[in-house]
Structure 1
Amino acid sequence: VISYIALRGRCRYCGAAFSLRYLLVELLTAFLFTWCFQVTGLGPELMKALIFISFLIVVAFIDYDHQLILDKVLIWLGGAGVFINLGLGFTGLTDMIAGSLLGGGLLLVIAIVSRGGMGGGDIKFAACLGLWLGWKLTLLALLLSFLLGGVGGIVLLTLKRKGRKDFIPFGPFLALGAFFAGLYGWQILRWYFQHFMR
């Protein structure tokens, strides 16, 4: 951020202008990292959250720009989830496998029923999220992503950023749902059961 401002958005060597996107992504990353720290404090939970958020940002922006979720990124995302959860004792192996099958399986069913309304990258992304979140938080993340996707779609149509026939990538909404589920998932579930499942 400091170098971008100091160099006025240009390369130090060739003088070529950088897109404002670089600055915005760096600011967003710093904001989300600070948010995570405020929620988790210092400790293993913060490390897990920062790594998770970093992957979510990468996937969300690539999918938004190119309607593509790279397998290389997903392999690292899934592998990191398994390593961190098992290594630090956050989530058990059975819970991770159940979350992965639930996340990928639900979106696979939607893709089949909608005849291509859900991309293969989204299916694999949801499966990887399950490895990070476990099955309960994965289900919550999917529900949140559908809600956020509906609201986001309406906003994009209203602002005429997208037309009715335009493709709206679902990856960013999956990432956003996973972000809130990862940070606030257990609080949301407790609130729900206290108020609606008595």
Structure 2
Amino acid sequence: YAVLGGKCRSCGQSISIKYPALELLGGILYAYAFWQFGWSMELALTLVLTSLLFILTMSDLAYMLIPNKILLIFLPIALIVRYLSPLENWYNPIIGGIVGFVLLFVIFLASRRGMGAGDVKLFGLLGIFLGPLHVVIALFVSAFVGSVLGLTLLGLGRVKRKQPIPFVPSIAVGTLLTYYFADDWVSWYLDLLL
């Protein structure tokens, strides 16, 4: 990107800075995952989750769309790597998937389709990775990130009131923060209560 001056080699058209920026961020996240887990099935699980979130973030930013084909491709992969990774119990991924889907489906109905159906299916898939407790935490963190982002864009005049904005980037941030740090958050919260 730097060598070509941000332009396509063949046609000379400008390339958006968001593409190399997201690719750089992806490389940093993959390196962080390796630093956290080393060569392990947990690393494989983390890389699959990170890849899913990156693909869907790019799709949502470009087209405001979460393709069913992507979700269907990642569903068996998620189940395989989840069950090959360390688990507290065999039913956690299944219950997590159900909780993620049902929770978002209720919000989808209550919001009168203010949220996309793709988000509902995505949270069902994320529940397999995260489990029932963490998928709920991920929803709250994602909603918080989305609110801050939406208010910032509104304040900067980049979007108008009631204008839909992509939610997957917020889901990606909320999910990865939850994946890495939720256990610490829960421990901290329990220490406050006791």
TM-score normalized with structure 2 length: 0.90
Which of 107, 119, 141 is 2:138 aligned to? 141
Q: Secondary structure at the match of 1:5?
A: coil
Counterpart position of 2:172: 175
Equivalent residues in 2 for 1:119-198, closer than 5 Å: 119-196=116-193, 198=194
Residues 50-100 of structure 1, C-alpha deviation per residue, up to 9 Å, x if partnerless? 221111111122113321101111112222210101123436441111111
* Cα distance in 2 for residues equivalent to 1:91 and 1:141: 19
Q: Secondary structure at the match of 2:139?
A: helix
Residue 22 of structure 1 deviates from its aligned partner by: 2.4
* Cα distance in 1 for residues equivalent to 2:154 and 2:148: 10
Residue 41 of structure 1 deviates from its aligned partner by: 3.8
* Cα distance in 2 for residues equivalent to 1:164 and 1:14: 37
Deviates more, 1:185-194 or 1:137-146: 185-194
Where does the alignment leave 5 or more consecutive residues of structure 1 unmatched?
Answer: none
Is 1:31 matched up with 2:28? yes
Q: Secondary structure at the match of 1:117?
A: coil
Would you say the 8 A contact 2:141–2:174 is kept in 1?
Answer: yes
Would you say the 8 A contact 1:85–1:92 is kept in 2?
Answer: no
* Cα distance in 2 for residues equivalent to 1:30 and 1:79: 24
* Cα distance in 2 for residues equivalent to 1:92 and 1:82: 14
Counterpart position of 1:65: 62
Would you say the 8 A contact 1:98–1:134 is kept in 2?
Answer: yes
* Cα distance in 2 for residues equivalent to 1:131 and 1:125: 10
- Structure 1 vs Structure 2: percent identity of aligned residues? 33
Would you say the 8 A contact 1:102–1:130 is kept in 2?
Answer: yes
Q: Secondary structure at the match of 1:37?
A: helix
Is 1:8 matched up with 2:5? yes
Is 1:75 matched up with 2:72? yes
Quickly say closer, same or farther: Cα 1:11–1:169, change in 2 above 3 A: closer
Counterpart position of 1:49: 46
* Cα distance in 2 for residues equivalent to 1:12 and 1:151: 37
Where does the alignment leave 5 or more consecutive residues of structure 2 unmatched?
Answer: none
Q: Root-mean-square deviation (CA), in Å?
A: 1.9
> Which 4+ runs in 1 deviate beyond 6 A?
none
Residue 11 of structure 1 deviates from its aligned partner by: 4.0
Residues 150-198 of structure 1, C-alpha deviation per residue, up to 9 Å, x if partnerless? 11111111111111120122222122111111111212211111113x2
The aligned amino acid for 1:164 is R
Quickly say closer, same or farther: Cα 1:159–1:118, change in 2 above 3 A: same
* Cα distance in 2 for residues equivalent to 1:132 and 1:25: 22
Residues 20-56 of structure 1, C-alpha deviation per residue, up to 9 Å, x if partnerless? 3321121111122233233334433222212211111
**Residue correspondences, number:** 194
